[in-house]
């Protein structure tokens, strides 16, 4: 490809795509596509990109979308992630506000979301030539963002998503190690097959894809997490490690799958949202597979803390509930409201110096309440900006959620604050049950009374078919709040005001 970007990440992508062009790269819908097919599609897209350029991509979990993503990175451009599943009006408004010189996507998405005057490239498959609009060759490069690989939407868990810039350096350190310039490149494609079910519109999906490409590892690409398709891929390819967000892990845990179905899997990694230690233990009890949780953020370009298998074998009994120790060159500390660095096991605000930003990274203050013990293990206690103050009592929603999810009939829960004229605000909970399970709300409230303080018990519990979730699998707390604002107590809800 001409004008190949000279960053180590772009060079690694190019090298892997050229290793063994006819070997397997991506399995999608039961058919394998070769590295050479992926390379050719990426080159065709790259040839249409003015570098450096901001390029919007309406990303879906399809092979040609992976090729488009890689094609922009090969040219040193910036991929502006656009989520076509956010809702038609929001997606159209998002694209109009961005003012991008070029937008890539499936033909139906382009027709539905992109207004006239914006250059577009339609993509329908790896073996199909991209279809540029008449204006694409006249498209200006737009405002370049030197060094920025991805403008990524955050999850939007608690409010409107915002875009953060993830640099080439950050992604390279995430998938190639702390010294990408000298990282050894693979000499041949890997034999083992990974499974990628995280959405490309989330940092988890981008990380998994780039990790597979950087390691020259073939992978099964699922449009979304589907229990039957995921299990079939695990049985067929017997990966040594799989990644499951907590909602997906609980689906596997409470399914009819048996140990034989997950034979070959030695470890499960889980992140993006809190996973209770009880669920992690239950998964290991059922399948004999340890669950390694982690802590990450879009702003960091990936993980900054996590469990390793040796740590799990040595410390899990005494440290269960922790998200592990600093990883990837990150540094962690906990500070008070005035910025004073706190000692072991003292709760406060978590600050991170991410390894993805290099050895001279400064401290970034998060909104997470945390503690770090004398051995360096990190516990996330909740988010400071989500604390519920009920009549002067402070309630952490994650504590309530964990108690609700401990009930044997509950698959998942989400807890938010609701304004209250007398108490200021109270907790309310949305609950999703396991298949074929029922629960008596009065009995559930009684159950919570043995695990929570009286003031922590939700004043309303709504049983729903499915909790609304963001692309990363987290509960969409904005949608949960909207539900309680518009839906009064009903036979599927119950008041529990115990203050």
Per-residue pLDDT at 161: 65
Q: 15-25, pLDDT tens digit by residue?
A: 999 999 999 99
- CA pair distance 499, 456, nearest whole angstrom: 9
Could you give the number of structural domains in the chain?
2
Per-residue pLDDT at 59: 97
Of 479, 472, 366, the C-alpha closest to 153 is 472
Indicate whether 284 belongs to any domain: no
- CA pair distance 53, 47, nearest whole angstrom: 12
Indicate whether 457 belongs to any domain: yes
Of 145, 160, 182, the residue at which a domain comes to its end is: 182
Per-residue pLDDT at 135: 78
CB of 289 within 8 A of CB of 267? yes
Indicate whether 200 belongs to any domain: no
Q: Which position has the token pair 């904005």?
A: 478
- Give residue 269's pLDDT band: very low, low, confident or very high (50, 70, 90): very high
Element (H, E) at 63: helix 63-74
Per-residue pLDDT at 499: 36
Per-residue pLDDT at 139: 59
Q: 112-147, pLDDT tens digit by residue?
A: 999 888 899 999 999 999 999 977 765 555 678 889
- Give residue 155's pLDDT band: very low, low, confident or very high (50, 70, 90): low
Q: Find all residues with CB under 8 Å of 29, minimum gap 6, and list them.
A: none
Indicate whether 218 belongs to any domain: no
Indicate whether 231 belongs to any domain: no
pLDDT over 60 at 425, yes or no: yes
Per-residue pLDDT at 60: 96
Of 182, 201, 230, the residue at which a domain comes to its end is: 182
- Strand 219-221 versus strand 24-28 pairing type: parallel
- CA pair distance 33, 22, nearest whole angstrom: 9
Q: 436-495, pLDDT tens digit by residue?
A: 888 889 999 999 998 898 889 999 999 999 999 887 788 898 899 999 987 555 434 544
What is the average per-residue pLDDT within 394-421? 91
- CA pair distance 113, 91, nearest whole angstrom: 7
Indicate whether 237 belongs to any domain: no
Please provide the DSSP assignment of 161-224 as one string: --EEEEEHHHHHHHHH-S-GGGPPPPSS--SS-EEE-S-TTSHHHHHHHHHHHHTT--EEE-SS
Contacts by residues 122-129 (CB-CB < 8 Å, ≥ 24 positions apart) = 123/41, 123/45, 123/64, 123/65, 123/67, 123/68, 124/64, 125/63, 125/64, 126/33, 126/37, 126/38, 126/40, 126/41, 126/63, 126/64, 126/67, 127/37, 127/41, 128/64, 129/44
CB of 118 within 8 A of CB of 78? no
CA atoms within 13 A on the CB side of 49: 32
Per-residue pLDDT at 121: 95
Average confidence score pLDDT of the chain: 89
- CA pair distance 399, 452, nearest whole angstrom: 8
Other C-beta atoms closer than 10 Å to the C-beta of 286 total 16
Please provide the DSSP assignment of 409-438 as one string: TEEEEEEEEEEETTTEEEEEEEEEEPTT--
- Between 493 and 153, residue with greater pLDDT: 153
CA atoms within 13 A on the CB side of 476: 15
Burial bucket for residue 145 (CB in 10 Å: 0-12, 13-18, 19+): middle
CB of 253 within 8 A of CB of 408? no
Burial bucket for residue 160 (CB in 10 Å: 0-12, 13-18, 19+): exposed
Q: 302-340, pLDDT tens digit by residue?
A: 899 999 999 999 999 999 999 999 998 999 999 998 999
Please provide the DSSP assignment of 340-354 as one string: PBP-TT--EEEEEE-
Q: 54-63, pLDDT tens digit by residue?
A: 999 999 999 9
Indicate whether 360 belongs to any domain: no
pTM here is 0.81
**Structural domain boundaries enclosing 85:** 8-182
Kindly report the length of the chain: 499
Backbone angles phi, psi at 243, to 5 degrees: -115, 130
Structure tokens given for 110: 């382009």
- CA pair distance 139, 118, nearest whole angstrom: 8
What is the average per-residue pLDDT within 276-297? 94
Residue 129, domain CATH: 3.40.50.12780
CB of 232 within 8 A of CB of 240? no
Of 377, 361, 359, 379, the C-alpha closest to 369 is 379
pLDDT over 50 at 498, yes or no: no
Per-residue pLDDT at 7: 93
What is the average per-residue pLDDT within 27-53? 93
Share of the chain above pLDDT 90, in %: 66
Residue 405, domain CATH: 3.30.300.30
Of 148, 182, 216, the residue at which a domain comes to its end is: 182
Indicate whether 156 belongs to any domain: yes
Backbone angles phi, psi at 237, to 5 degrees: -110, -15
| DSSP state for residue 44 in the 8-state scheme | H
């Amino acid at each position: 490809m001409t004008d190949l970007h000279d960053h180590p990440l772009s060079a690694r992508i190019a090298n892997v795509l050229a290793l063994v062009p006819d070997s397997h790269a991506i399995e999608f819908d039961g058919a394998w596509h070769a590295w050479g097919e992926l390379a050719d599609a990426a080159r065709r897209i790259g040839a249409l990109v003015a570098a450096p350029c901001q390029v919007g991509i309406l990303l879906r979990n399809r092979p040609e979308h992976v090729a488009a993503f890689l094609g922009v990175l090969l040219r040193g451009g910036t991929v502006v992630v656009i989520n076509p599943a956010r809702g038609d009006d929001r997606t159209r408004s998002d694209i109009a506000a961005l003012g991008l010189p070029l937008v890539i996507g499936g033909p139906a998405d382009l027709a539905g979301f992109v207004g006239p005057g914006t250059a577009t490239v339609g993509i329908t498959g790896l073996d199909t030539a991209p279809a540029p609009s008449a204006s694409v060759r006249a498209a200006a490069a737009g405002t370049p963002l030197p060094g920025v690989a991805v403008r990524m939407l955050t999850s939007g868990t608690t409010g409107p998503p915002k875009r953060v810039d993830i640099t080439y350096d950050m992604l390279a350190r995430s998938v190639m190690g702390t010294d990408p310039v000298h990282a050894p490149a693979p000499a041949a494609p890997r034999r083992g097959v990974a499974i990628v079910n995280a959405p490309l519109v989330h940092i988890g999906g981008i990380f998994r894809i780039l990790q597979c490409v950087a390691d020259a590892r073939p992978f099964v690409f699922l449009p979304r997490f589907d229990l039957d398709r995921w299990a079939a891929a695990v049985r067929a390819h017997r990966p040594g490690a799989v990644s499951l967000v907590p909602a997906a892990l609980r689906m596997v845990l409470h399914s009819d799958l048996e140990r034989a179905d997950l034979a070959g899997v030695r470890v499960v990694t889980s992140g993006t949202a809190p996973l209770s230690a009880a669920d992690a233990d239950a998964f290991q009890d059922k399948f004999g597979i340890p669950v390694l949780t982690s802590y990450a953020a879009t702003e960091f370009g990936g993980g900054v803390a996590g469990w390793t298998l040796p740590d799990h074998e040595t410390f899990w009994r005494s440290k269960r509930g922790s998200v592990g120790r600093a990883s990837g060159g990150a540094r962690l500390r906990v500070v008070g409201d005035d910025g004073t660095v706190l000692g072991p096991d003292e709760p406060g605000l978590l600050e991170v110096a991410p390894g993805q930003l290099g050895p001279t990274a400064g401290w970034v203050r998060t909104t997470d309440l945390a503690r770090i013990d004398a051995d360096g293990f990190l516990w996330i206690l909740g988010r400071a900006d989500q604390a519920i103050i009920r009549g002067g009592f402070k309630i952490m929603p994650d504590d309530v959620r964990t108690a609700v999810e401990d009930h044997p009939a509950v698959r998942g829960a989400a807890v938010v604050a609701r304004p209250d004229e007398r108490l200021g605000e109270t907790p309310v909970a949305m609950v999703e049950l396991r298949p074929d399970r029922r629960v008596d709300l009065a009995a559930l409230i009684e159950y919570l009374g043995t695990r929570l303080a009286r003031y922590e018990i939700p004043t309303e519990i709504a049983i729903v078919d499915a909790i609304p979730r963001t692309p990363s699998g987290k509960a969409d707390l904005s949608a949960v709040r909207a539900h309680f604002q518009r839906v009064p107590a009903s036979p599927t809800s119950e008041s529990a005001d115990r203050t």
